Amino acid sequence: AIYSSDVSQFDVSQTYQTLSALFGICLFLCLITIYITSFFYHTRLLKLGSYGVSVILCIGLVYTFVLDYNVITGESYPQMDNFVFKNPLVGNGWNKYVDLLVGILSCIIVLLLMFYSHFLKRVTQVVLASIVVVSLLSLQSAYAQRNDILARAKTPSNQIQAAHDDIQKYLPPFHHQLTAFSKTEQNIIVLLFDGFSGSHLQIVFQQFPEFEKKFNGFIYYPNTVSLDGNTSITAHTILTGFKTSAFNQRNGSIEDFRKNASKELKNTYIDFRNAGFDVQSYGMPHLEPDKDLGEGISIYPTNWIFSSNMDYSLYYEKMLGMSSQLQLLRSQNRPIGELTSLGLFYFAPYVFRHRIYAPRYSTVSGIEFADYAWIFATDKMKNISFLSGINTTSQLPSIVRNLNTSAKGKTFKYIHTLYTHYPFVLDSRTCVPSQTRSTQLPKQYVPFLEYPNHYDNEICAIKQAMILIDYLKKESIYDNTMIILVSDHSYNDLPAHNMPYQQSYGNAPNPLLMIKEFNANKPLQVDSRLMSNADVYGILCDTLQTCVGGGGMIFVKTTLKVERLSTPKTFNGRMKFKDAKTSILKRYG
């Protein structure tokens, strides 16, 4: 359990208590096992039991240390926050055959070892020694993580206790520079809503037509496809283009992919700096601060394991007045059951994992909701998921409410938020996290969204974007600001695919894309051309007349088809995104 997890998943004040409890449980179970087996000493039943336990141990070691990812799809399990996987887990029908193969091979290997008992003894000693070493290293890592979290969260006690303190003191130290706009020079902001399903915007505008009026100057691209459904594979392509897609780098290693993404992102930022822009980047995967980049480029990485909870969560909790409530929830979170379940999850074959970490369904106001729960911690997962949702929703509202116009020159900003990412905890009427939230998703769309509250988070994201727009208009810098609202991928919850009560076609293929050029003020328009969120790079390069090696939109030569968004339209069917994605891959593969 310790090897498979990390202490960032729960309140650091409970670290030692939780690890001590786990050790006590392990010691107790070992003693019970020794006591029970003493009744069968020197019997055939003991040999049979030893064989069975050895096979189980062999299978568990293979899955824990080797097959700790989905070997069929080649994808690792999503990162976790508060013991909730950041993306829902998707099974594969071929998993059972992998389990069968591993089981058969384990039976054969253990049987051969038992025939050579002296060799089995040595193997057992090596395995036990390895487990001890791994456990000690994991404990050391847990201690280091705990200290790191405490260091990040350290705030002078007089600030925390002061009831009337200015809560802006709890904003991260880089915030002022990140959110500084220029009154007289050009500003560009790329604001990313992680996981926003682009076609849902039509439903939002249909339900709330007054929202549309706020987005004057914008062009909305509903037929936008993503190059993949994973943040670490798609987000960087928004600022680097198709050349850094996974498809175009399919022959290299994952490490090569990461290094190339980092290199091309830095090249893009250098190009923008050379065009006179002060570059501020927050939350872009694959990037760390690099002094070699020199002045004019500031990179603020979010720690994806911690969901940026040391960046804006403290301010956000105080802004909402929820600090006491959340502290109470955290103090109750001694996740012994979660850690045990997590250890069992990675120890178990694939076919059992969906039972260890499984969806639990509940009905609220006649609408069925799904949430995930661990087998030994089903009652606590609602609180844990809620705490995770606090972290993921903290960035966007904190940022848009604390903007400034102190920049003297041109500014470029990339801001990556998790506001529309799982888990979804917002009440769309108040846009405040709530454990008793309902949904405003129109009933005709309920069969197409496994998580109706995804739509509610999207409504709130649009409301937060409207706060940004209102500020820019109030400060008279709307005309000299280019705004790109985009997501890295969608979810597989697209009503247009007409696949009720099941995941829609593709791998989260339909991201959001809305663009307002400089000095654009016409009513919101819809451009129905096929686009990709990776086209943002080409659009920026064409607008700024920069980028070494060029940029260019992939469909810039096609006929522009623009229409007013007076009556939201539906898409033509489930094959549209498949054909679109195939077209892109063929053209740029």
Q: Give φ, ψ of 436 to 5 degrees.
A: -120, 30
Measured between alpha carbons, how far is 338 from 384 in angstroms, rounded to an integer?
10
pLDDT above 90 for 547 = no
Q: Where on the phi/psi map is residue 130: left (φ > 0), alpha (ψ -120 to 50), or beta?
A: alpha
In this prediction, residue 53 has a pLDDT band, given cuts at 50, 70 and 90, of: confident
Range in 172-186, 222-236, 304-318 with the lowest mean pLDDT: 304-318
pLDDT-based confidence at 146, cuts 50/70/90? Answer: low
Rounded distance between C-alpha atoms, residue 416 and residue 230, angstroms: 14
pLDDT of residue 144: 67
pLDDT grade for 335, boundaries at 50, 70 and 90: low
Which of 113-127, 246-260, 432-446 has the weakest average pLDDT?
113-127
Helix residue spans in 80-162 (DSSP H): 95-115, 117-153, 157-161
Lowest mean pLDDT among 381-390, 485-494, 514-523: 381-390
Residue 299 has pLDDT above 90, yes or no: yes
Contacting residues for 569 by C-beta, under 8 A, at least 6 apart = 202
| Residue 565 predicted with pLDDT over 80 | no
Are 203 and 455 in contact by the 8 Å Cβ rule? The answer is yes
**Sequence letter at residue 67:** L
Q: Which residues, other chains included, contact 301 with Cβ-Cβ below 8 Å and sequence gap of 6+?
A: 283, 284, 287, 288, 289
Give the pLDDT confidence score for residue 402 in this predicted structure. 96
- The predicted pLDDT at position 422 comes to 85
pLDDT at residue number 506: 79
Q: Predicted confidence band at 316 (pLDDT cuts at 50, 70, 90)?
A: very high
Give the mean model confidence (pLDDT) for residues 17-46: 74
Mean pLDDT of 385-392: 83
| Band (566; pLDDT cuts 50, 70, 90) | very low
More confident residue, 77 or 142: 77
pLDDT at residue 568 tops 50: no
Mean pLDDT over 519-547 rounds to 94
Q: Are 457 and 200 in contact (CB under 8 A)?
A: no
Which of 529, 515, 527 is closest to 576 using CA atoms? 529
CA atoms within 13 A on the CB side of 205: 21
Phi, psi for residue 216 in degrees, rounded to 5: -65, 140
Is residue 456 predicted with pLDDT exceeding 50? yes
What single letter denotes the amino acid at residue 394? S
What pLDDT sits at residue 127? 73
Q: Which tokens hold the place of 421?
A: 């990412």
Would you place residue 26 in the very low, low, confident or very high pLDDT band (cuts 50, 70, 90)? Answer: confident
The confidence score (pLDDT) of residue 471 equals 98
d(CA 106, CA 58): 6
- Rounded Cα gap, residues 302 and 416, in angstroms: 9
Share of the chain above pLDDT 90, in %: 40
Give the pLDDT mean for 380-396.
80
Lowest-pLDDT choice from 154-168, 214-228, 315-329, 514-528: 154-168
**Closest by CA position to 226, among listed 265, 198, 267, 188:** 198
Predicted confidence at residue 90, as pLDDT, reads: 59
Mean pLDDT (the chain, rounded): 80
pLDDT for residue 35 is more than 80: no
DSSP 490-533: --S--GGG--TTSPPSSSS--B-EEEE-TT--SPPEEE-S-EET
> What's domain 177-313+405-422+455-588's architecture?
3-Layer(aba) Sandwich (3.40)
Lowest mean pLDDT among 137-146, 191-200, 282-291, 348-357: 137-146
Distances (CA, A) of 417 to 179, 399, 490, 566: 14, 10, 14, 29
Give yes or no for a contact between 420 and 458, defined as CB atoms under 8 angstroms apart: yes
Residue spans per domain, the chain: 7-154, 177-313+405-422+455-588
| Top-confidence residue, 542 or 122 | 542
Burial of 135-166, coded b for 16+ CB within 10 Å and e otherwise, reads eeebeeebeebbebbeeeeeeeeeeeeeeeee
